[in-house]
């Protein structure tokens, strides 16, 4: 293997020799520099490879004839190899990315780049304190040289602030090193560590200065304004070097020097780190300039790493795994994002819609955002998971809270940015062109993010169990985006069908039911996709990712797999929702609620794993500590997906604005993920109590109020799809209530209703989606009289609302019948009454769907509309047939569910006799009811037809508003504000109180964010005061005085 000293030698040698090259030969200078960096990257990669595969011994490099501590020595171990590899790689690819900028600035800029990378390499490898100081100085001088690559007032003054601040900090470092030498008599790190470090007070003060200087290099809050200004004003490529290379080296230095620090100083560093993490992310929320936002994000990530390193004595041997996985994610993603920002060159994130003109960059941008926010399958996901698990294990709950809230803030601004890029309607008429030398680093880093994720998960004892096949298939679709919809749709359906076919036998009954909803339901809704023309880019990878996540939930055997699948599903569905019209706001609120919920689930799983030998799902049924907490966290987490009242505000917009076939996917299918989670939770943990009150009792009221409010809000909508969306909220309230009954009948209802809800909601959303497809409007008052134009859609909607309303003879009635049986059995009459009332409200909005859309007079402009597209009708009629089957033969649905529930709730089961169901309270025969109702219907219908022959036909004309000039044309339509009298009576109940509440939370957070950023007033001296005050405060905390 190549001796690591050649890393230093080659970089130094090349940069000296560049001095001899003539002025005009920047090309040669550049190529030589890149070759040198390529060489050093290979050297450290080779070492790392050998450390990983062959487990070789740590290598020491001695620089003179003397052995340390009498000489400077460097060290190449596994960690050093990894860190120098990262630093050299960012040097190489950052240099490649900036090639033409560096070339334009002259060969000296290549020298600065080489010196920076050389300095950081030595910083990582050296075991000598003074050497560390020297090379940190060299690196920061090199950075100062690179900052002025762009020369404007902003970058120059930022560079000045950087120089002054690092000047003070390294002065401090030198002071610390000098006094350590004074007391310990050595500069060699290993030699000093063999001594008793706590013997002299003077030594501990010296160590304090050393450590605080290193911490200041990591830009802790609030003494970091100088760093932020550099991030926001330097060339993007330079910012990426600073964020990835420089910060990576300081992380390593902190790891290396941490043994110096006494335990209380270690915790203090950790506290500084976590405070930096939370506050930087909080302040990141109000940023509009992408580079500055990335600066806040960089600082926060490094703060998190400082926190993890600081509490390594608590976390134990997994510290390294956590640090590396979070760091690699940050390293790859942050460089990538800075690079993309350098290509886009927009000062405001609102203008990033320009990124859409370059699809490749857009995809890469998404990959990096996901890698940065710690979503699967990237390494940060596993780091965060392991961090929370260990914090929970050691009962550091406040830390869990801080880690999750900080991460959540980061998600807020990162996804707002992503949303602007994908959907914002600011049109900028430039075609983004990235040069090939800019694209190559981006592609490599994105690929490395996937590779690192896979590698990290294969190193993890539980992550290696994750089934990557569905995700791989979904990602595979990204490579066949050029194919037409027809082929991709067929492939997607075939893939899902094949997966179900080969796996369903290994599922238990509960898994089969939900796998069927997720996969068969998914296939049905995908069929509607044939109606689309063209390529429909960006749909299939995400749709399949969502389904991959859903099936992963069903198959999960460990909490990690479950959480992985949960996040995967969230990502996929986020993009599906983002595809809709005017979706930015809704998609953002969807992802925020989802990630917030996911973090609660993560915390719950963390608490559940305390003291357990493994993390299988089974541990939930065997909880000794904090059971109510775990239950509450998980239940609320799952309820963000079922959109229970209070957590529902994301749903209406997200479902209503989605495309025709996406609405049923996210409404009929996706919501069931939350139901599945709740079922899993209830089955495992049973009833839990806070004090004397049962959680189930609380949830029953949540369910009831959700049902009531969902239905009321549905009744007052003008938009047909919003109406259906609110009705989903209501329906999921029923499911929640059913589950909270904790009885056989309650669960039978809840689960069968989940299936039924899937059917009628998919049916209705597809039918209404078809109508909207043709009419290009969702407002019901713009429709009317479509019964003759769209008879097939009419029948779908009619059947759909009959099922929804729970009227005999269709399968919805079975649900209602069971439901009230269950309520009576449990004797929760008050809840039952409210539910009954909300059932009546359901009639109101059901009626509207038929009346306002299909009956009445057709509008003039709709004279030529055609029936909905064939492929949207196909799945509807498939569902209709299943509905008819289940209605005729209710036990074909209910009996298997009942059998499944027997082990959990043996009492109060239904006894079946053919299609005759008997419970403790009564009996019901689906077939007979069907025949009777159909008979009665036929008689009445026949009588009406018979009477109708005498009726006169009236032509359509409108004199009602002659000579009037209504300013709001919709007010003249009978279907507008249809239930005005009811609205007067009970409308105050549906005032958007909860929405307003969340808006206030949002505004509050942003204004706090705004307040804090005001401390960075741009003045170099203020930043110095921050630094000095920071040192004083930390000194007083660690040596008394406070």
Residues engaged in binding other proteins (CB under 8 A): 130, 134, 137, 141, 144-145, 148, 151-154, 156-160, 163-164, 167-168, 171, 174-175, 178-179, 181-182, 187, 228-229, 232-233, 286, 292, 1013-1014, 1016-1021, 1024-1025, 1028
Nearer to other proteins, 187 or 247 (CB): 187
CB of 170 to other proteins, least distance (A): 8
Do 250 and 330 meet the contact criterion of CB atoms below 8 Å apart?
Answer: no
Nearer to other proteins, 229 or 235 (CB): 229
Label residue 923 exposed, middle or buried (CB < 10 Å: 0-12, 13-18, 19+).
exposed
CB of 23 to other proteins, least distance (A): 20
Nearer to other proteins, 113 or 731 (CB): 113
Nearer to other proteins, 341 or 805 (CB): 341
The C-alpha atoms of residue 566 and residue 552 are separated, in whole angstroms, by 8
CB of 600 to other proteins, least distance (A): 32
Nearer to other proteins, 134 or 696 (CB): 134
Nearer to other proteins, 287 or 589 (CB): 287
| 610 SS3 class | coil
- Give the CA distances from residue 749 to residues 155, 342, 513, 819, 894, in Å, rounded to whole numbers and listed in that order: 65, 56, 14, 6, 9
Residue 419: both structure tokens together: 């949303």
CB of 1024 to other proteins, least distance (A): 6
Nearer to other proteins, 106 or 942 (CB): 106
The C-alpha atoms of residue 305 and residue 851 are separated, in whole angstroms, by 60
The C-alpha atoms of residue 733 and residue 701 are separated, in whole angstroms, by 9
Residues 631, 633, 634: CA angle, nearest 5 degrees = 65
| 920 SS3 class | coil
| 639 SS3 class | helix
The C-alpha atoms of residue 399 and residue 402 are separated, in whole angstroms, by 5
CB of 258 to other proteins, least distance (A): 24
Nearer to other proteins, 288 or 614 (CB): 288
CB of 1021 to other proteins, least distance (A): 6
- DSSP-derived letter for residue 200 is -
Nearer to other proteins, 280 or 373 (CB): 280
Nearer to other proteins, 350 or 395 (CB): 350
CB of 698 to other proteins, least distance (A): 43
Do 119 and 273 meet the contact criterion of CB atoms below 8 Å apart?
Answer: no
CB of 722 to other proteins, least distance (A): 38
Do 298 and 224 meet the contact criterion of CB atoms below 8 Å apart?
Answer: no
Nearer to other proteins, 172 or 764 (CB): 172
Element (H, E) at 529: none
CB of 1016 to other proteins, least distance (A): 6
Four-residue CA torsion sign, 192, 198, 201, 205:
positive
CB of 95 to other proteins, least distance (A): 21
CB of 1015 to other proteins, least distance (A): 9
Residues 465, 568, 506: CA angle, nearest 5 degrees = 50
Nearer to other proteins, 157 or 490 (CB): 157
The C-alpha atoms of residue 729 and residue 725 are separated, in whole angstroms, by 7
CB of 253 to other proteins, least distance (A): 18
Of the candidates 710, 640, 701, 632, the residue with the CA atom closest to the CA atom of residue 673: 640
CB of 250 to other proteins, least distance (A): 18
Do 47 and 4 meet the contact criterion of CB atoms below 8 Å apart?
Answer: yes
CB of 466 to other proteins, least distance (A): 42
CB of 345 to other proteins, least distance (A): 17
Residue keyed to tokens 């293997």? 1
CB of 232 to other proteins, least distance (A): 5
Do 773 and 660 meet the contact criterion of CB atoms below 8 Å apart?
Answer: yes
CA atoms in the 13 A half-sphere facing the CB of 115? 23
Element (H, E) at 883: helix 870-888
Nearer to other proteins, 995 or 1019 (CB): 1019
Radius of gyration of the chain (CA): 32
Nearer to other proteins, 286 or 757 (CB): 286
Of the candidates 349, 352, 203, 365, the residue with the CA atom closest to the CA atom of residue 285: 349
Nearer to other proteins, 147 or 673 (CB): 147
Element (H, E) at 918: strand 916-918
Do 663 and 769 meet the contact criterion of CB atoms below 8 Å apart?
Answer: yes
Nearer to other proteins, 164 or 475 (CB): 164
Q: Are strands 59-62 and 689-690 parallel, antiparallel or unpaired?
A: unpaired
Do 232 and 295 meet the contact criterion of CB atoms below 8 Å apart?
Answer: yes
Sorted by sequence, the CB contacts under 8 Å of residue 316 that are 6+ apart come out as 390
Of the candidates 499, 493, 764, 526, the residue with the CA atom closest to the CA atom of residue 665: 526
CB of 297 to other proteins, least distance (A): 16
Residue 60 sits at φ, ψ, to 5 deg, of -110, 140
Do 739 and 695 meet the contact criterion of CB atoms below 8 Å apart?
Answer: no
Nearer to other proteins, 132 or 917 (CB): 132
CB of 1025 to other proteins, least distance (A): 6
Residue keyed to tokens 């200065």? 209
Sorted by sequence, the CB contacts under 8 Å of residue 1 that are 6+ apart come out as 43, 46, 47, 50
Task: Report the residue count for the chain.
Answer: 1042
Of the candidates 649, 683, 668, the residue with the CA atom closest to the CA atom of residue 768: 668
Nearer to other proteins, 130 or 998 (CB): 130
């Amino acid at each position: 293997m190549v001796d690591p000293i050649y890393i230093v030698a080659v970089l130094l040698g090349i940069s000296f020799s560049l001095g001899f090259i003539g002025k005009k030969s920047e090309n040669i200078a550049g190529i030589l520099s890149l070759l040198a960096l390529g060489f050093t990257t290979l050297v450290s990669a080779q070492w790392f490879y050998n450390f990983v595969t062959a487990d070789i011994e740590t290598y020491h490099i001695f620089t003179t004839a003397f052995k340390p501590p009498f000489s400077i020595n460097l060290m190449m171990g596994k960690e050093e190899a990894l860190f120098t590899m990262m630093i050299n790689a960012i040097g190489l690819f950052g240099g490649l990315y900036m090639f033409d900028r560096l070339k334009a600035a002259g060969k000296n800029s290549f020298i600065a780049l080489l010196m920076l990378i050389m300095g950081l390499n030595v910083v990582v490898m050296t075991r000598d304190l003074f050497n560390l100081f020297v090379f940190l100085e060299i690196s920061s001088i090199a950075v100062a040289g690179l900052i002025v690559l762009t020369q404007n007032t902003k970058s120059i003054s930022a560079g000045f602030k950087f120089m002054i601040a690092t000047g003070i900090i390294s002065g401090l470092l030198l002071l610390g090193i000098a006094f350590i030498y004074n007391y310990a008599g050595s500069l060699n790190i290993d030699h000093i560590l063999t001594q008793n470090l706590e013997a002299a007070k003077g030594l501990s003060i010296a160590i304090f200065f050393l450590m605080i200087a290193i911490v200041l290099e990591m830009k802790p809050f609030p003494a970091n304004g100088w760093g932020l200004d550099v991030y926001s004003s330097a060339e993007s490529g330079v910012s990426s070097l600073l964020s990835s290379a420089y910060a990576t080296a300081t992380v390593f230095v902190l790891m290396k020097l941490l043994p110096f620090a006494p335990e209380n100083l270690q915790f203090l560093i950790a506290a500084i780190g976590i405070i930096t993490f939370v506050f930087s992310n909080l302040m990141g929320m109000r940023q509009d300039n992408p580079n500055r936002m990335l600066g806040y994000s960089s600082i926060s990530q490094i703060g998190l790493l400082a926190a993890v390193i600081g509490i390594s004595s608590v976390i134990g041997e997994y510290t390294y795994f956590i640090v590396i996985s979070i760091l690699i994610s940050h390293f790859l993603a942050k460089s990538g994002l800075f690079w993309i920002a350098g290509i886009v060159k927009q000062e405001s994130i609102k203008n990033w819609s320009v990124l859409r003109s370059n699809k490749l960059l857009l995809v890469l941008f998404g990959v990096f955002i996901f890698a940065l926010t710690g979503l699967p399958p990237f390494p940060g996901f596993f780091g965060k998971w392991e961090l929370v698990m260990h914090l929970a294990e050691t009962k550091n709950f406040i830390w869990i809270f801080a880690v999750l809230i900080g991460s959540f803030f980061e998600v807020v601004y990162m996804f707002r940015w992503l949303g602007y890029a994908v959907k914002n309607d600011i049109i900028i008429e430039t075609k983004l062109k990235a040069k090939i030398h800019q694209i190559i680093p981006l592609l490599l880093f994105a690929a490395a993010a996937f590779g690192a994720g896979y590698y990290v998960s294969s190193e993890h004892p539980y992550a290696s169990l994750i089934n990557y096949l569905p995700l791989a298939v979904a990602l595979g679709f990204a490579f066949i985006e050029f194919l037409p919809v027809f082929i991709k749709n067929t492939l997607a359906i075939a893939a899902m069908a094949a997966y179900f076919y080969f796996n369903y036998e290994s599922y238990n009954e509960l898994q089969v039911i939900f796998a069927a909803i997720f996969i068969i339901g998914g296939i049905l809704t995908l069929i509607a996709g044939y109606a689309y023309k063209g390529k429909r880019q960006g749909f299939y990878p995400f749709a399949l990712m969502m389904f991959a996540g859903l099936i992963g939930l069903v198959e999960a055997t460990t909490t990690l797999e479950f959480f992985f699948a949960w996040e995967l599903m969230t990502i996929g569905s986020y993009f599906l929702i983002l595809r809709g019209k005017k979706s930015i706001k809704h998609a953002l609120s969807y992802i925020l609620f989802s990630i917030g919920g996911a973090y609660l689930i993560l915390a719950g799983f963390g608490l559940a794993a305390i003291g357990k030998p493994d993390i299988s799902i089974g541990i939930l049924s065997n909880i000794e500590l904090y059971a109510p907490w775990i239950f509450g966290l998980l239940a609320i987490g799952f309820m963000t997906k079922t959109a229970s009242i209070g957590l529902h505000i994301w749903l209406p917009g997200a479902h209503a604005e989605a495309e025709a076939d996406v609405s049923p996917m996210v409404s009929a299918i996706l919501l069931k993920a939350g139901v599945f989670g709740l079922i899993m939770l209830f089955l495992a943990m049973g009833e839990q109590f806070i004090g004397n009150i049962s959680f189930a009792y609380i949830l029953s009221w949540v369910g009831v109020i959700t049902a009531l409010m969902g239905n009321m809000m549905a009744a007052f909508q003008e938009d047909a799809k919003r109406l259906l969306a609110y009705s989903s909220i209501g329906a999921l309230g029923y499911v929640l209530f059913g589950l909270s009954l904790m009885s056989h009948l309650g669960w039978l209802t809840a689960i069968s209703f989940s299936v039924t809800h899937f059917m009628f909601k998919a049916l209705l959303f597809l039918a209404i989606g078809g109508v909207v497809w043709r009419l290009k409007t969702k407002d019901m008052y713009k429709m009317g009289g479509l019964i003759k134009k769209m008879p097939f859609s009419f029948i779908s909607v009619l059947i759909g609302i009959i099922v929804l309303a729970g009227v005999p003879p269709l399968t919805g009635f079975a649900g209602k019948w069971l439901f009230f049986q269950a309520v009576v059995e449990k004797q929760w009459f008050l809840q039952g009454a409210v539910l009954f009332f909300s059932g009546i409200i359901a009639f109101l909005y059901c009626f509207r769907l038929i009346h306002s859309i299909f009956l009445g007079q057709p509008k003039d402009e709709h004279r030529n509309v055609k029936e909905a597209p064939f492929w949207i009708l196909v799945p509807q009629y498939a569902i209709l047939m299943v509905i008819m089957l289940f209605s005729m033969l209710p036990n074909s649905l209910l009996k298997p569910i009942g059998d499944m529930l027997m082990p959990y709730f043996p009492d109060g089961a239904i006894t079946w006799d053919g299609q005759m169901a008997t419970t403790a309270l009564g009996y019901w025969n689906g077939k007979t009811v069907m025949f009777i109702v159909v008979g009665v219907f036929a008689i009445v219908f026949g009588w009406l037809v018979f009477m109708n022959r005498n009726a006169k036909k009236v032509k359509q004309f409108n004199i009602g508003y002659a000579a009037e000039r209504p300013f709001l044309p919709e007010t003249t339509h009978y279907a507008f504000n249809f239930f005005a009298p009811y609205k007067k009576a009970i409308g105050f109940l549906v005032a958007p109180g909860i929405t307003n509440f969340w808006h206030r939370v949002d505004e509050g957070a942003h204004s706090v964010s705004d307040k804090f950023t005001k401390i960075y007033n741009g003045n170099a001296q203020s930043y110095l005061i921050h630094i000095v005050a920071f040192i004083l405060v930390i000194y007083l905390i660690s040596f008394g005085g406070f």
